[in-house]
Amino acid sequence: MIQCSMKSSRKLCHFRGRKLKLYEITIKPTSGFGTPLKGDTIFGHFCWQVAEDSSLVEGGIENLINLYDKKPFVIFSSAFPKLVNSKTNYILKKPDLPVYFYIPHSIQQKSEKILLAKEHKKKKWMIVDESLKIDISKTRFLTDKEVTDEISRLSTPQTKKQMRWLPQIGFKTSFLQPHNTINRLTQTTGTREFSPYIQEACFFYPETELVIFALIDESFTSIENVCEALRRIGQWGYGKDASIGLGKFSLAEWEELRIPEIKAEENSLVFLYSLAPAIPQKDAFSRIYFRPFIRFGKHGSVLACSRNPFKNPVIMADEGAVFVPEDIASIFKKPYIGKCAKDLSKIKPETVIQGYSPCLPLIIGEIS
Higher pLDDT, 106 or 148: 148
Instruction: Give the sheet arrangement for strand 88-93, strand by strand.
Output: 140-142, 125-129, 88-93, 74-84, 209-217, 20-29, 249-257
Residue 52 CB: number of other CB atoms within 10 A? 13
Please state, in angstroms and as integers, the Cα–Cα distance from residue 88 to each residue in 120, 151, 183, 201, 287, following that order. 24, 13, 51, 28, 32
Task: Judge whether residue 236 has pLDDT over 70.
Answer: yes
pLDDT of 259 strictly over 60: yes
pLDDT in tens, 86-130: 889 999 999 999 988 888 777 778 888 888 888 888 899 999 998
For residue 255, the model assigns a pLDDT of 94
Mean pLDDT of the chain: 85
Query: How many whole angstroms separate alpha carbon 59 and alpha carbon 340?
Result: 19
pLDDT at 355: 93
Residue 299, CB-side half-sphere exposure with 13 Å CA sphere? 19
Q: What gap in Å lies between CA 354 and CA 311, rounded to an integer?
A: 13
The helix/strand/coil state of 12 is coil
- pLDDT for 167 equals 65
State the chain's maximal CA–CA distance in angstroms.
Answer: 75
Q: Which residue has the higher pLDDT, 349 or 80?
A: 80
Whether residue 7 is predicted with pLDDT greater than 60 in this model: the reply is no
Q: Specify whether the CB–CB gap between 235 and 45 falls below 8 A.
A: no
User: What is the per-residue pLDDT for 199?
Assistant: 82
Of 9-18, 40-49, 192-201, 211-220, least confident by mean pLDDT is 9-18
Of the candidate ranges 39-43, 159-163, 321-325, the one whose mean pLDDT is the lowest: 159-163
Handedness of CA 20, 73, 127, 7 (dihedral sign): negative
Question: For 145-172, what is the mean pLDDT?
Answer: 83
Statement: residue 6 has pLDDT above 50: no
pLDDT, mean of residues 178-183: 79
* Helix, strand, coil tally for the chain in percent (to 5): 25, 35, 45
